[in-house]
Structure 1
């Protein structure tokens, strides 16, 4: 096993080059793009300089070091460029004399880094002998000329450098690119007017690269890559990523996709994988305190006052509101807001109701830290409620994730496989992240692995190290060996090597390619590598349904939705009754906002799923009833569930609620007390509210609202999301959304279920209302809004089709 990589949060320069490169898992695409740009410079092209823009913690310093190592490791670049790294903040630069002296120091550091210590000492002596520091540039040019290479200046916080040189005559002239002069890659947390302003003196001399926040998918992929590189220490983090992705996604919303926070997140996950999401957040806040406390203390007194008002507001706030809160005049507040914005601490954002610009803290985790360390008790409680809500929403609420759990628990797919070896069953079971199906497949594979263990004179429990297993002699044994490494010893990298060895012996061994693909997909977060392997496997067994299905999953994880859809459709051509492919197609359609196609796929699932597959029918019933609002069709699906299991009280509840909403009987529908008792207090109140609305009794419905959201159990939306969506839609359509929002605010539900209520508010009064909400809440509120709008979107699609 390779040595595990080291990690650092604030100072990447403290890591060895090897550890740094192994831990550099984010921004790989941008690093390649910037390296290609440097290759053009190395070829003699007159290229522009580069400016890397990004908020604090977005990886600017790491990117500069990555480029320095790229030059060091590439023969062409290292023959033409000298990478010079500087300290992160060159506070001492107030003249070109100091700047060129710093360049000489950086050149000396470079000599030391490549083992040219004699040159470094000679250079130091010549620097000390300079009588006039104005000769520093000439000395630098002389040494650079002696190397016959162009200097690559990697300047972090280039905005501070420009500010220090501003008093110099024509201070920007040295930074204009020439065909044989220095190449500059700068980093800055704030826009640099001379570069970013279209009319700036250097606007055509620099190309700007923006480092945006990592997406949730990038965050998870990066955590997985770090865990694999960490070796044994990372195994428990891999387990968390496989079983508790909702926990990670919640932390992404609260911390933003900040690579620096990514490292802190990884370190606390490795330290304690049992903590809940709020404990995770507390640990992150503690680790960030040193950095953020210093950032606040560095501000002038009025700047701290203004920042305090903006951070505690959390939502975007206008200058006038800040002035009212701080008792400062608007002019002073505006000046401080502009200053904080230029320093990258605040950012300007639009809001509804006014054309004026609002402000919010740009680094969202900084805002969370400020709230938790300086906010009132009630404000901290609001954040706790938000955390609970977000975790429940991401773990169960999304239709895509919900459908993914609908796997045939009785092993229908395994029956259709026609395979004879345990390694294939184990590989498929491990790749599909469902414990029930995995258990079924593993039980069928157990005999195969037991025979393998007994051939070694061991039991399965005795196999604790690959060294106890003789070196496999053929491809089949390498495959069995690989699956033991992967499944029982949790060493997927070694398993990948075993499957590769099998392929080297038998290049057309379908099982080796299939296992290689599923290992890369399920264990190594290498979706593109999985696609490559599974394509080969499919070419060797073109009609093998599981290979086609796993290829679809790999393509989906690689972000190639169109190819993934084609793969899933190919599954249905191989077996028109293979409803798992229809579920996947429905997932993608839902994610893309294609409600019409999603409805088609879920309808197919409801027809194809075996009668015993109640989960698939429940998913279809939920989608048809509460996303599409096709109640009569949904009632038939739930009735089918009752035919399968007359004791299914969830299906019975849905039927009764649908009947109450349709109210087609001569007498109003009254839901039986015995059925109501099966539900938690909040759910019971919600059902009674919908029953009252079916009878046009709005007053009785509203009387239940406080009970719905006042219950101690905070999972009412998670367990009754369909009913909540109906309640909100009825309120808007019947013209009492404002009244419902007022009641929710009075009962405290507006704070306790903030994203849910924000989504409802946007549904009732326009999506632009989401601009008034902070980004942490807005992300989930937008998804709530999409769910609320789904029936109209579905209806519009049908209308366009009919037209």
Structure 2
């Protein structure tokens, strides 16, 4: 292999096959499958016909060259296969001309078997006779063998043959099944795709995609490795190299040919070596693209010409405005242009942005439009992407006066001074287009901030945002490993993001180590820095290490010049831990501090008052708890979830303080909220039912109860305390014995109707425990017996109440002994005794 391999930009067949194999990317499976189909065609009567479709520069010729090389090198095919690789620049308008091209291609590859002189007799005959003689000659020489015809620009061939020529070719293939065709085309033409066409369904068609960022990086890396440029290969694998390939990808559109040209510069770092082949490529491509644009209808031609002049993807409304057309007209034409492969679209939210699908078309139009020999914009932008400003200045100072390279470098510097850092802009734009709405919401602001600090960090954030955790974490680890190479702020952010991602993945110890290292690097808190401290505190809290959690939250609170939102979150979390630890007054102090902060979101203020209310309830200060919930509601209008919770709890507090009308207003307000979850809908009706019972509106309460029970499913668990409170209310009511029996019967009936009697039975047993714990009043045996009798009568036909009634019977017998004779519980089996032991909070018998 030469020190620097020759890689032909336009004619891959001129490049050594082993070099083409060395740089092959993206289509290994496709090529292997194609070779296997050729092998099957040569070994059986079943012939495969393959068509690879893609615009110029997508690697069609590279793919076809390798297919021919592999098939021609296969020893198992040496006797059974003959290959005719047609010259793509020749034209055929008849089957005779095509067969002649095939024969001449065979003479070049197999000169001993096929001689050009054998064709001399056909030139003295008329076309029909010449076609018959040539066909006979081919069939005779190919006896027992399969002919592989490899050709490019099938669309041009079919256009030249016309319908009549296509029909004669199809008839020849069917009458003489010796041929297998492997072809390429720049577009999927009607001659193949339409049902009434001669070759519809004939080819196995593969649409070739442009290179992805990862595939482009792989291609450039393979070229560097082929040329033994180890430093360039290592650079392309680094975060900086990958970020530059990503930005370059935005300019190239994933075009193989553009990368092949630019690779001469990327791996050689010689501007003069880049300009000449690039200019040559543009000169050769310009007539083709001009012709392609001329094929279009006028309105579509205007759109293409407009987009060729745009530096960035453009929304439909902007095109419509500049082209003096309606958005509907432009959208319709764009749909057709997209199907033809002229434009491509990307989504930004709900908006579609359009750009030219082939960057070379843009640059060819630019040349003709400007009619000047000035620097090509794509090449200038490439220099802006590949070099930082200081590097451009250094190379400019080393260039001779009047050189072409100097003109390009100066143009790149001038454009940077006007338009700013192109590489950073392209990285941000690229990720914005690739991410979905949720990913953009979480990551985009961080990517935009990071790109100003480091492209490696922006790249890491972008990959993490896309879900490529391994790649993103590798980039972060490189920064964290070599902290001396990067600015302190960058290192702190890298540690912080790495910690957060480790926590997300459940790698707690690794995340904690990253936070420790982050704290060692800087004493200056940033928004992300403090967010990670808060996050580590949460991790400690979940792990039961509350002291460490309190330390982290306190560190955030104690920092000066901290964003109020971060302080508020830390105060809420610290207050919650203190509340759970029984330090209610200290917890109240933290919650009060949140409420006093300026610049805190209404959501956090609402949470603070909500937590204040809960703490006050623990202190038994129900009046102040109601006030706290009222304040929480004032700040939760934009947070339906917290608002409903506050309304529901405040309603319960109103009920406990006999403000039943206020309670009912809160419950009724909950029911007006749209998309109310079924569990909250049910619980609100249960609470309304209890309020109705407490005000003597029994029929109304039963209706509310029935409405709520109707919403219960296997996936919904009701608020058990409401059923227990309902049972307790009936037990403590001043109803007569007969009236209480009637109410109990109605309760049991409505639960049975909705197949939810199990909830009622559980409430009965929980209420037994409440009776036992009520030290202020000892229930009379007569009252307990009447209570049991009423429930026994109500639950006679309920299978779900059989066990609860058995437990109720034994539990009442135990209470009648003053809760002293535990032997009474021996009337139950072990599992049932355990239930009552838990209910009465006593040791199991």
Per the normalisation by structure 2, the TM-score is 0.47
Choose between structure 1 and 2 for higher RCO, CA contacts under 8 A separated by at least 6 residues.
1
Question: Which protein is bigger by CA-based radius of gyration?
Answer: 2
Question: Scaled by the length of structure 1, what TM-score is found?
Answer: 0.50
